[in-house]
Structure 1
Amino acid sequence: MATADDGTDRRFIVDQIGRIYVHGPDGLDPEPFLDLTDRLVAVGQNLPNWVAYDERGLLGLAFHPEFAQNRRFYVRYSAPPDDDELDHRERLSEFTATADGTRADPESERVLLDLPWYRPLHQAGTIEFGPDGYLYAALGDGLNPFNGQDITDNFKGSILRLDVDSRTDGKPYGIPADNPLVGSEGLDEHYAWGLRNPWKMAFSGDRLIVGDVGQATWEEVNVIERGGNYGWPLKEGFHCHDPQVGTSDEGECVVQSDRGEPLVDPVLEFPHFTEAGDAVGFAVIGGHVHTGPIDAIRDEYLFGVFTRSFTDPAGRLLVATPQESGRWPVREVQFADRDTLGIQILSLGVDGDESYVLGTTAALSEGPLSQQQGVVYRLTPA
């Protein structure tokens, strides 16, 4: 969910299968703001049997800070391949809305990035404008863990930072002069790296907070700093990780990259299972610091867990208390009117100081991408 700073009471809801809908004062507009279904890979189809959930699709939306004047906005989506060796291509594109801002012009597309993707996973996809006016874009490792430490040959496993209002060296975007690799080894677009699948991220003030989905045992949340290396695949959470066998343990950890960069620890982690073997949850969903009217979670970092079950809609909503240093303590959100949310959590959103949770009531075993069971919940005080 995204909002445009244009003085209207609208929430733009991204549907993974390729459409953006508008929720306004009168409810959900049945006509999409933008329909890209004809430009997407066949979401939910022709997947290998080891893929439980298709992560491709329409994955990110961000409105230009001056949308009210220039009507420009940006999307991330998975396009069909142009090569038999590829699964699909990942695109970051600019579109323009009509003069009154009520609909997007589908013919206005200007492609900023068009990246080959070899497997149907780990695209990430969130895009966000920072308080500096630059566009930040999250990219997963493409299911090749070593991509997270490669800053010279690809953008995968990284957060990119682009100036969409200028051009550099013939590129369709500019490179901010203070990006950390400008003038040194590595691709200038990088802002931070060493990530696995930063599925959701958001700015809270001037702080960029990212949920990075784990592999073997641990899920983590990171506060992103310029030039930070967040350790994947050399670490998972606070733990050592062996990228050759895909396991994490408490042994003697690598503390720096081959380039001598310190590996930055997350601010929090949680395991997939308790010591007793009960499921805690799989796939962290990054959120934001809640600033709204709910006293119990005000100024806390609100985030989610995609699910803890493959047969039931069992997402969990969590909060963590930000700290100046050290780990952020975590607890589960309690609801006055229900024991559980009853959804798989896919994203969180903000409109002003109100927080929203987005997901589906369909379980993974029910093929959620083939059903119309998506929901948007607004959190309110008990």
Structure 2
Amino acid sequence: MAKYENLVPRFLKYVKVNTRSNPNSDTIPSAAHEVPFLKSLMAELEEMGMSEVKYNEKNSYVTALLPSNLDHKVPTIGFITHIDTADFNAEGVNPQIVEDYDGQSVIKLDADGKYVLDPAEFSSLKKYAGHTLITTDGTTLLGADDKSGVAEVMTAMEYLISHPEIKHGDIKVGFGPDEEIGTGADHFDVKDFNADFAYTVDGGPLGELEYETFNAASFKLKIEGKDVHPGSAKDILVSAIQLGIDFQNQLPRDETPETTDGRQGFFQLWIFNGTIDEVNMEYIIRDFDREGLENRKQLVKDIVAKMNKELGQERLALDMHDEYYNMVEVMKDHMDVVKLAEEAMAELDITPDESPVRGGTDGSKLSFMGLPTPNLFAGGENMHGRYEYVSEQVMEQALDVVLKISELNVKQNS
């Protein structure tokens, strides 16, 4: 029998709802279909007995309070997740259940066996012998990022409400949109949330405890060409496609996501489309060191300036902005929040993995906004695509950590 009977059914219900965010939208939230899901969470929170349940029309966050059952004040903890999924097909999610996985077998996702989870390719599978795995059917992502976190936080609140003998202080929860496109936390109301510190439950495998992220920037490059008939093109035609290739080739070839790991930063071209007449390119830049990020940004600016000078006109137009910064700049002064999570994991015999995140979380922005917010594991593997899966047992352990943090917060402040 499952440890938390509503955890997996809740997760399966959530992932079947398309909440994919839209990177090309300027609205809040970025996709209208995020709103009904958020409001369904609001109704669920009200039904289970949470207080101060509300939907913020300005930022589309749903927040709620589980009031303290103590006779004294302890710090208020927040648990925050996001409901949107990444830029991959999220329509018609059809989860598959693999019970008592042996850690060795190939898992066929689709009926034809075109897409498989093979331990020879995905070595993470080997550590899940004896687990119940939830996978995709090969046609969509799963959405464990971050609906596993949503299900875990919701179920944790339900569990505390149904077990009033468990002592806890005020607990705030928040469920927001658009984390996957990097804009959701921009509008979060820290003052209204009114927590002393928080955790995003948005990490991956068992034990992840993250308080160091990339510094991040992105840029768009619009290139103007000149298209004429190729038969009379000499000394007239200017290929925007070739200029885009020339630009890309001046970036370091060994500083891309597929050639770096650990604390190495990178440039990534993730959109390249257009014609001879016009090309649009979109990049992300990542570096753990703020100075390193600035150096990478400057390199891009220098290449654009150099190419425009050689062309004799402004054919390359650059639009660059910063996205988030390494949260360790803030968290180094709030390591007690990290220590609380470390102690919770230790009591549950979970070894923390505090490796720097080769990415970012809403916690990065929230920390710089005045709410120290490290990131906890939620269980997902191979996130953002058809090979995504999650272990039921690891989801339960993530829920255990949420409950244990709440418990230790009382013990350490009584």
Class of the TM-score when normalised by the shorter of the 2 chains:
under 0.3
RCO comparison, higher one (Cα < 8 Å, 6+): 2
The structure with the greater share of residues assigned to helix is: 2
The structure with the greater share of residues assigned to strand is: 1
**Normalising by structure 2, what TM-score?**
0.24
